[in-house]
A and B are shown apart, each in its own frame.
Chain A
Amino acid sequence: MSEYLFLYRGGDNGRSPELAQKMMQKWVSWLTDLAQKGHVKDQGQPLEPSGKLVKGNRKTVTDGPFAEAKDIIGGYTLIEARDLDQAVELSKGCPIFEVDGAVEVRPIMKLSM
């Protein structure tokens, strides 16, 4: 088994309480299902949409957001999968695609080769 980080990017959360609740329920059932199948190593955390960027030799500090709203990373989950193909397959169940968002699937680099 290898580890993969799912990074959740963007996604329009809409302006309807009813749709927001439905979306939330889809997320919960998707992640619960992954957890039951033993794929969730760490359910992860949501990220604030804003923050600071510290950059360069002079350590200049600037305010976030660092990207367009549609590219902001809103959270992550650490996943266990056989290989990248399986991790990608697992990500396809994420409800974020219904609202124009994206999942970035990044293999965690192995320490021992």
Chain B
Amino acid sequence: MELDEHFFRHESGRMVAALTRVFGVHNLALAEDVVQDAFCRALEVWRIRGAPENPSAWLMTAAKHRALDVLRRERTARTFAPELGRKLDSEWTLAPTVEQLLSAGAVKDDLLRMMFSCCHPRLTEEAQIALMLNILCGFTVDEVAHAFVSGHAAIEKRITRSKRVLAGAKKLFDLTKAEEFDARLPAVQRALYLLFNEGYHGASAEAAVRADLCHEAMRLASVLMESPQGRTPSTYALAALMCLHAARLPARVDSAGNLSPLFDQDRSQWDSRLIAEGQRLLDLSATGPALTDYHVEAAIAWVHASAPSFAETQWSEIVALYDTLMALRPSPVVALNRAIAMAQCQGAESGLREIRAIADAARLAKYPFYHAAMGELESRCGRGEAARGHFQTALDCARSPMEKRFLARRVAALESDPIRAASR
């Protein structure tokens, strides 16, 4: 039996979420240990005999046996899930209760419940994402640190603290309370959005790591879409946005970890299946009165994804969409992107005027692509000296070797062939 890529990771999330319902959220570490044991066991058996016909069921059974052992041994010393009351105390009810909680039907909502639990209002967005990666996506602390290009100690601290908050909440999020569900949904969507962005725009130079993060965000978004209450128009818009961006991922970072700008990308490498899926989801999102920033961002991504070439992109439409986005969620980065689109439809001088007019531009001072954009536009206006200055600042701001290489190559392209490079 061939296993899906990342099968263990995904099973880990499902199993930890299910076991936490049995043990109680304050015993999260115990649930993680039991799952870890199940994996060790699977590895020992499967490495010699190969994976069984139904590997998920096999793993869950292994975890169930282990969980029953733990419950029998520790039920006097520890308290487990308070919701289960005395059901775990008697041998008559123990096994059937655990059996029922870990059955395939019951496990279905566990990921969703854990996802909502991780987006606890007392946690920062960074903490929510790290926690989701760790618990729901089976990333170890090292793997989270690696993905965020951060130190092990910092991430470990963040995750440990977050788990303490989760444990302090005493119980997992209650999915049956419609009002609380609706109230927390935006935070969950936001966390998934940021997780996706970490993959798409983040600091990691490894294409595989970035794709992993994007795929995890998309997997969790599809869990959200499976829930009748979770699949709101904004959830569809968020998922559409992810598909349309992910479609461009293969052309965006090459195997050597080099960033490729939109105008240079080989569009034949874009994933047409994902673009079609993005379009389908975008259609589904177009119901109801609410227009969210996810809708607008997805629409922008759609205009790019459906354009036959960089030059033939509907830039005026993109400018209009950025106007809407500025009204919904104004930020200097959105303003910068709007200005870049303006430069495409009304010329570089006009783009530069827009950039100079950005309110709050001080917040972009350390953003390398702010300076790079000015460099590009100055160079298009034939002002090589000014362009070089901006690119130098951009290089000084670069946050990773990948960004440094990208900017250095842009500078080289302008130096060697200013006319061609500037004609973009």
A binds B: yes
A23 at the interface (CB under 8 A from B): yes
Give the tally of cross-chain contacts (CB within 8 A).
68
Nearest chain B CB to A68's CB is how many angstroms away? 17
Q: Does B381 touch A at the CB level, under 8 Å? A: no
Q: Which residue of A lies closest to B142 (CB)?
A: A16
Give Cα A18 to B43, complex, Å. 12
| B47 with A15: CB separation less than 8 A | no
Instruction: Point out the residues of chain B lying under 8 angstroms from A46, CB to CB.
Output: 44-45, 47-49
Which size bracket describes the interface of B in this complex? Answer: 20 to 34
User: Do A21 and B8 form a contact, CB below 8 Å, given A15-B36, A43-B49, A46-B48?
Assistant: yes
Report the Cα distance A44→B48, complex, angstroms. 7
Asked whether A17 lies within 8 Å of B48 as measured between CB atoms, the reply is no
In the bound assembly, the distance between CA atoms of A13 and B39 in angstroms comes to 9
Q: How far is the CA of A46 from the CA of B50 in the complex (A)?
A: 11
Query: Any chain B CB within 8 A of the CB of A75?
Result: yes
Q: Please, how many angstroms separate the alpha-carbon atoms of A8 and B47 in the complex?
A: 11
Contact among B6, B44, B45, B143 for A21, CB-based, below 8 A: B6
- For the complex, is B404 an interface residue (Cβ under 8 Å from A)? no
Contact with B along A1-28 (1 / 0, CB 8 A): 0000000100001011110110111011
Cβ 8 A contact of B9, one of A13, A17, A31, A44: A17
- Identity of the chain A residue whose Cβ is nearest the Cβ of B11 in the assembled complex: A17
CB contacts (< 8 Å) of B143 on chain A: these are: 16, 18
Known: A21-B6, A21-B7, A46-B45. A28 touches B12 (CB 8 A): no
| Residues in B whose Cβ lies below 8 Å from that of A27 | 46-48
Which of B11, B40, B48, B50 makes the CB contact (< 8 A) with A13? B40
Cα A45 to Cα B40 in complex, Å, equals 15
Taking CB atoms and an 8 Å cut-off, the chain A residues in 15-56 that contact chain B are 15-18, 20-21, 23-25, 27-28, 31, 43-46
Query: Is B138 close to A, CB under 8 A?
Result: yes
> Which of B6, B8, B49 contacts A45, CB < 8 Å?
B49
Interface string of B108-147 (1 = CB under 8 A from A): 0000000000000000000000000000001110110000
Determine the chain A residues whose CB is within 8 A of the CB of B140 once the complex forms.
15-16, 18
Q: Hey, which chain A residues are within 8 Å of B49, CB to CB? A: 43, 45-46
Contact in complex: A28, B46 (CB < 8 Å): yes
| A21 to B39 Cα, complex, angstroms | 9
Q: Which residues of B contact A31 (CB under 8 A)?
A: 47-48
Note all chain B residues with C-beta closer than 8 A to A95: 47
Encode contact with A along B41-64: 1 for CB under 8 Å, 0 otherwise.
011111111110000000000000
B22 CB, nearest partner CB in chain A, Å: 20
B256 at the interface (CB under 8 A from A): no
Given that A16-B143, A18-B8, A18-B143 are contacting pairs, would A24 and B48 also be in contact in the complex, using a CB cutoff of 8 Å? no
Would you call A107 an interface residue if the criterion is a C-beta within 8 Å of the partner chain's C-beta atoms?
no
A20 and B39 contact, CB distance less than 8 A? yes
Which residue in A15, A18, A21, A43 is a CB contact (below 8 Å) of B48? Answer: A43
Binding site for A on B (CB under 8 A): 3, 6-9, 11-12, 36, 39-40, 42-51, 138-140, 142-143
Question: Can you list 27 pairs linking A and B with CB atoms under 8 Å apart?
Answer: A8-B48, A15-B36, A16-B143, A17-B8, A17-B9, A17-B39, A18-B138, A18-B139, A18-B140, A18-B143, A20-B43, A21-B6, A21-B9, A23-B47, A24-B42, A24-B43, A24-B46, A24-B51, A27-B48, A28-B46, A28-B50, A45-B49, A46-B45, A46-B47, A46-B48, A75-B44, A77-B48
6 closest A-B pairs by CB: A27-B47, A17-B8, A21-B8, A17-B138, A17-B12, A16-B140
